[in-house]
Amino acid sequence: MSFEKLGLIKPLLGAIKELGYQHPTTIQKRAIPLVLAKSDIFATAQTGTGKTAAFALPILQRLRKTEATEDRAVKAVILSPTRELSIQIYEDISNYAKHMKVECAVLVGGKDIVSQQKAMKKGVDIIIATPGRFLEHIENGLKINSVEVLVLDEADRMLDMGFTKDIRKIHPLLPKKHQTLLFSATYSDKVRKLSKLVLRSPAFLETSKKNSTVDTINQIAYMVDTTRKAELLAYIIGSRNFPQVLVFTRTKVSANELFEELKKDGLKCGLLHGDISQAKRLKTLNEFKEMKVRVLVATDIASRGLDIEELPFVINYELPSVPEDYVHRVGRTGRAGRHGEAITLLDIYEKYDVRDIERVIGQKIPQETVEGFEPDPTIRRKDQEDLKLKSEHKKPQKKKARHFSKNTSGVETKKTRTSKKRRTTKRD
């Protein structure tokens, strides 16, 4: 099937052709006609399947009638969990609407709300926002009585991030007769409960098995001792000459430490986590997209909303705290039918945690070793922790100072990254 057969108008067909879109993906083929028909949708789709276009293209087509209108009113609201994803959606819609006169606005935290309000006074057709900031604008007088379409993108992530109350507050404020499109990468009880609240007789689109990864991603795990993870990571990137790779850590502390280690190895790196300002995060993302940065080290804040064309490799330096987040991480590669590779580095702490992930995705992840980096079979978990403690003691005093705290007796004791990790694992 072609985009023409889906009934899209010429301005949209011209834009997507210029973007290199040739054939609609499964979610696009199924969702676009339903959105045009004004049906509510509950869609579960893997990341990288083109779901932004699945809701954005038909919404733009429905808004064509407002192009000549001087007095604009908000017709569509797209809520997403993060600033990065909201900005990415805005950029995508701007590209799709390049031959149309449609006004969009992004309302996210980290930006001055007063300047956002001033921009809104000019009139907009589509708002892309995070739930908290959108609710803030409503409380400050934003009119939403003309909204025809509400999109909840990455609904599962919004719920995981604690936006449930905000969504419950926003929904009753919208016109009763509006269309709601709910998209989720994973399928959970929370999402099902939300769907019952916001959807009316929805069409259910399940384009993949729940919580599964796309077939175009080759997944593999390498067993390695904890203390040699960074060394193995640098070896894999260098020996295989990876041109661009996204590396996930479990914590901000791990991300900072790994970032410094890779820089010492001569790799041009970027860093992305919640303690970094939005301006710097966006700058780093752009540098990574433009391949000015070869390795992007990130926490799970980057597992959603990153749309990097033809990103070939994702590496899990550490497993995520929530097994379902593995799906979102590896979904950054293998997007829109392209092939990608997801590599996981497993130490002795994680060899059992990976089973939870395999149960979630419904498949085994092959485990191998890299020659020269085989884990020592005689070392137990306790021994691994002792080795990690010794390696931490070898760090310069300046770095150690950041890891000291006082116990009840007033004596300084060291809190190592390893000990923090031990306390957060399910088994402990």
**Chain segment 324-374, per-residue pLDDT in tens:** 788 878 877 766 556 788 999 999 888 888 888 888 888 899 999 999 999
pLDDT, mean of residues 221-242: 93
At residue 212's C-alpha, the angle toward residues 209 and 217, to 5°, is 130
Q: What is the pLDDT of residue 258?
A: 95
- Specify whether the CB–CB gap between 181 and 203 falls below 8 A: no
Q: For residue 117, what are the contacts with CB-CB under 8 A and spacing of at least 6?
A: 137, 140
Q: For residue 386, what are the contacts with CB-CB under 8 A and spacing of at least 6?
A: none
Q: What is the pLDDT of residue 348?
A: 84
Q: For residue 341, what are the contacts with CB-CB under 8 A and spacing of at least 6?
A: 217, 218, 219, 220, 312, 313, 314, 333
295 or 404: whose pLDDT is higher? 295
Amino acid residing at 209: K
Rounded Cα distance, 82 and 361, in Å: 24
How would you list the strands of the sheet with 179-184, edge to edge?
Answer: 104-107, 126-129, 76-79, 149-152, 179-184, 41-44, 203-206
Q: Is the pLDDT of residue 78 over 90?
A: yes
Q: What is the pLDDT of residue 147?
A: 96
Indicate whether this model's pTM tops 0.75.
no
Tokens found for residue 84: 């990065």
Q: For residue 248, what are the β-bridge partners?
A: 298, 316
Compute and round to an integer the Cα radius of gyration of the chain. Answer: 23
- pLDDT-derived band at 312, boundaries 50, 70, 90: confident
Q: For residue 87, what are the contacts with CB-CB under 8 A and spacing of at least 6?
A: 106, 108, 282
DSSP state of 186: S
Residues 119, 122, 128, 132: is their CA dihedral positive or negative? positive
Q: What is the pLDDT of residue 416?
A: 41
Q: What is the pLDDT of residue 402?
A: 38
- 3-class SS at 193? helix
pLDDT, mean of residues 19-34: 90
* Domains identified in the chain and CATH numbers: 4-206 (3.40.50.300), 217-382 (3.40.50.300)
Query: Residue 371: exposed, middle, or buried by beta-carbon count in 10 A (0-12, 13-18, 19+)?
Result: exposed
Among 167-176, 260-269, 317-326, which is the least confidently predicted range? 317-326
Q: Is the pLDDT of residue 97 over 50?
A: yes
Rounded Cα distance, 129 and 423, in Å: 35
- pLDDT-derived band at 427, boundaries 50, 70, 90: very low
From the list 425, 424, 348, 428, the residue with the least C-alpha distance to 386 is 348
String of b and e for 123-157 (b: at least 16 CB within 10 Å)?
ebbbbbbbbbbbbbbeeeebebeebbbbbbbbbbb
Distance of CA 102 to the CA centre of its chain: 26
Rounded Cα distance, 91 and 89, in Å: 5
Residues 140-194 have pLDDT tens digits of 999 999 999 999 998 888 887 889 999 999 999 999 999 999 998 777 788 888 9
Alpha helix (H) residue ranges in 317-380: 325-330, 353-361
Q: What is the pLDDT of residue 16?
A: 93
